[in-house]
A and B are shown apart, each in its own frame.
Chain A
């Protein structure tokens, strides 16, 4: 009911093209900033901060995948592998060369972008399901390579331990400190994506998605832009992988298997394809879901199952609920949580006088 254009007049193109053209939206952003920077880290228990941290990392990855799938209309089932490329690049650089995070992070992203472009090459010739299978092959090849090449994976366990990131001698070594570290990168990723999708490059991505023939005729080199989308998207995935590595203190290929690629696809489908807010909502939802299920079962499940059965029930239930929700969203609201939010907003836009 506060989100109304009525009475808001813009006199410059800059004001009309601003990220948040309405005053209420600006105030919401300021309020959110205060809550997340000042209030949450002071008031919230370490355990819940660790969950928020996971959400922040997932947001980076989901935004990247949404640029490729939601905005450019290409598909990738290889994003888990791109994350592992970023993770192992950063871990190797950090351990072997002792580089700080502000070098390993972009390096991991760039390496993932490079591999992403290679895996994305088939998109120049094939679309849809065929492209999905081609990127799936990319996922499996990268998994196999990392697992079998000791120079990358660091030996038998295929895992590399890294120190927590530090800046000017300040180590982000607790969940409370990692919170600021990860929040920073999540915000950067969100702002960067918002800017990208509203500017020349982002419009060209959508053009490739909606009408590749017309895109070409107005001067968009669709091959270039498809590869660019793969590069940018994989860069995000690589950074996401580096953040996971610093968060867990270890790079391990088992964190980035096929199921992770599927999880991230689920995030953007549930959240909303082609939407920044949708990526954020989807990342939050998919990260929270298993935690909520576990807490629920720990409290209620004891009535039906023995403690020994519980672990199996929880993991089975997680997959069941997850699959059910994806089907539910595909049928009921294919545009995802973002669409639900927009419906609520437009309902209250004219409330209580709906016509």
Chain B
């Protein structure tokens, strides 16, 4: 982790993802209000903020789960605001969930293979016949999954049902499933939530490798400030649905609005 803080971003070709002034309200509750976000190609951008700040809602709007009430989401110059989640996945956006959402009845390998669903073609007839096209395709994609299994060191677990795995491992499998999509943009919702220090360091290492070796842009929600400040190129701070600060980790840490959101203001200041 140490060397990475010195790493400076070299943006090639500008912003990969642009979120322009999105808002989302549920009944009377405003979850996200007029939030904008620029994600440069190849960057690691972290979204932080207190509980209920609207971080996950923002991620849900990028991945197509929520349709914003106002504003738009633009990927590679293409407006994806109104697209279905499954179509957005096919455009190369993968994500993980805060509370792991693996397919518990399936093995690690099958979960990864499912991650490649949009990259595969076999239809009903080919699947039923299997021998021939579907088998050839399954084998080719199995190789891609094995590469991810090696990368994430899941070799001994590939035929284990995911329901039986330990928490930290399931988080890692979920990252693997997202990587199997071969995304150009990876959305991670608290990838280190509930992990111990060793597991957090492993996960941070994987995220950096994904970003640097595979060239995947990463948008990250995380509560562990040490990790966030170490690995992020940009940090965006949300509080009560609004963006209150943005910039490099150093800038954000010094921002008085951020300090106030996290620590609160003293009584004299409030008066």
Q: Identify B130's interface contact among A199, A206, A213, CB under 8 A.
A: A199
Q: In the complex, are the beta carbons of A218 and B177 less than 8 A apart? A: yes
Interface residues of B in 65-96 (CB under 8 A from A): 65, 84-87, 89-90, 94-95
In the complex the two chains form, what is the Cα distance from A204 to B143 in whole Å?
19
Interface residues of B in 110-145 (CB under 8 A from A): 110, 113-115, 117-118, 120-124, 126-131, 134-135, 137-139, 142-143
B29 at the interface (CB under 8 A from A): no
Q: In the complex, are the beta carbons of A200 and B117 less than 8 A apart? A: yes
Q: Identify A196's interface contact among B65, B128, B131, CB under 8 A.
A: B128
Number of A-B contacts (CB under 8 A): 113
In the complex the two chains form, what is the Cα distance from A207 to B63 in whole Å?
18
A344 at the interface (CB under 8 A from B): no
**Residues of chain B with a CB closer than 8 A to A201's CB:** 122-124, 127
**Residues of chain A with a CB closer than 8 A to B129's CB:** 195
**Residues of chain B with a CB closer than 8 A to A219's CB:** 86-87, 89-90, 117-118, 181
Interface residues on B, range: 35 or more
Closest to A231 in B: B124
Question: Contacts A14-B135, A199-B134 known; A204 to B128 CB distance under 8 Å?
Answer: no
**Residues of chain B with a CB closer than 8 A to A218's CB:** 89, 94, 114-115, 117-118, 177-178, 181
Q: In the complex, are the beta carbons of A228 and B127 less than 8 A apart? A: no
Interface residues of B in 21-40 (CB under 8 A from A): none
Nearest CB on B from A274, distance (A): 7
Q: In the complex, are the beta carbons of A210 and B117 less than 8 A apart? A: no
Interface residues of A in 194-242 (CB under 8 A from B): 195-196, 198-204, 206-207, 209-211, 213-222, 228, 232
Q: In the complex, are the beta carbons of B122 and A210 less than 8 A apart? A: no
Q: In the complex, are the beta carbons of A203 and B106 less than 8 A apart? A: yes
Q: In the complex, are the beta carbons of A216 and B122 less than 8 A apart? A: no
Some 6 contacts from A to B, beta carbons below 8 A apart, are A13-B146, A201-B122, A204-B117, A207-B114, A214-B97, A215-B114
Point out residues on B near A: beta carbons under 8 Å: 63, 65, 84-87, 89-90, 94-95, 97, 101-106, 110, 113-115, 117-118, 120-124, 126-131, 134-135, 137-139, 142-143, 146, 177-178, 181
